Structure 1
């Protein structure tokens, strides 16, 4: 039985029963997160494309539309991946509008779906529906875990290994000690070492939006430091607003400031929505970290957020992409993340998809622990 495609022109137009009927694949496609993203960038239109059958809603996703300006390089398939283009082709591709399905900011992608649906089939059908609605856009759904990637690639889509993420399972763990018992001896040792530093150098923890306001300018600067280090624009004011939006969207959040309260070396933001916990951002003062020690980074990156995620009853903590070896040394589970991309039929571009082995080799070259796990087959991955 075919589905009807329904397009809601903005979030306020979405029927209430849709949100109630469908379950999000990840924290980053929940209504709360989507609404926070919409508020933080009102210049980026958001529509919702849904599939409906006579029995009710089957699947849906927010679609973020970029026309006349570009997404963040992290989520922009045109600039994130090497498609084998020369400079002229790159310029032509960058002039095309983009449609990003699911989330435009969040390291795990997905859609909303009926709990009893075939996850693979519904992702494929919804992707094809969005491509049909926006035929002139470069359409993508970023950062899908293997269980969410369609078994058969959607019509006209390209499948590309985008990155490797890390998570730590927490369900039924009986708190932090239960989590630690599941980890390798090295993981337990690293986390306990990080947490012991709290005895002499405690963290400042922010748990309310009122507390957060006074710290936002500093957090924006520290986050901008990291963005610039990785070659991205670093607008401190915009990034401070983003931190506020993330915190406001969460059921529970924690911001950890490590180092002197007036000049911390590192901070991180843990968000919890439902049973999902995620380390959203890490900001750094590189000079302070060099002076005070890298333990300020490591404990805000994994160990303290993990402790609190376990206390808050989350089923797992997602640690995101980047800094992979530090996360894996502390018990993280690596998982390959796949993006689906569709270029307009009439765009005139010749596209060469990077081979999975080449992407793995590039990531392994800068992540020794990850390379060893790939060699042992300890990375959750799609079948090649």
Structure 2
């Protein structure tokens, strides 16, 4: 139900007052991107209205103000994920670019013919395709950790796949299609026993889970701002300092250099070595505002509310005849995917949209995972701090209406 605290949070999101197709908007597509609080919207406007300038190079007042705000976001991210030092925080366009950066730099330098890279059967395409490209280029081998029927990974088979030829494990911490929370700390520890490095895709986990990269001991961690109430086009790649220093550069241009001549170029120190050209200054600055919003509520309180929504939605969905939930892991975030045997997910999504309910249908950029379950896709409802049980009641009513119309 709606509590005073929940109403106060919802009031901070102007888009939630809009109507879609004559109905009050119900937004259940948070795993794709979250909505933005007024504080984030205001911070973006404030930058462009008051101190829009390029950073790091200028000595005038606007440039200095923008630079300070930009670097304040880097410090906020360091604290948010528990990095040892600010130099380990690289700003990117998002999770996808962070993964590609590692593939094209660390991967091209360290992966040789016959080496093996392990990924899981529940990876997003952005954590599959870069490694396929790298393996094709280096004549390396890509191997896959199987997914069990309940939507969890086979840790026994993972253990069997690890050996001295394993050079990298690239693993999602939370499945965007199933909501499964993978035991990444255990996965990392097991990989390190064989000398392999580990990249964690934190696109779905950063907003839900407490992240401490030092405790996890991951070598790389990538996530996107737009899934945790920040604007699109800003992301973070964390890497251990010794790895980042040893990696070749990703892109050439301004800022990533120290000295340039026609004979020789020397590269900048971390983290600027990997931030060529004018960055996404505005959205990077506002990332701190989004992290401050999360901090003001508290991850524990956010999880408590979202878990209540997940439990309620799951129990309500399980009571619908002919509906099957895909992904029954004990450890999940606030996301539920489901199918009907004789109804295509897109048809349900269209009817729900007519009722103002926004959720995601399709393969969720996890086509191999959908193939594993023998389905074309799922209907996915994903919940955030501003969602309510009343909205879930509307979803359930909308599903019944869809069944009636499509049967």
TM-score relative to the length of structure 2:
0.23
Larger relative strand fraction: 1
TM-score (norm 1): 0.24
Higher relative contact order (CA 8 A, sep 6+): 2
Structure showing greater Rg: 2
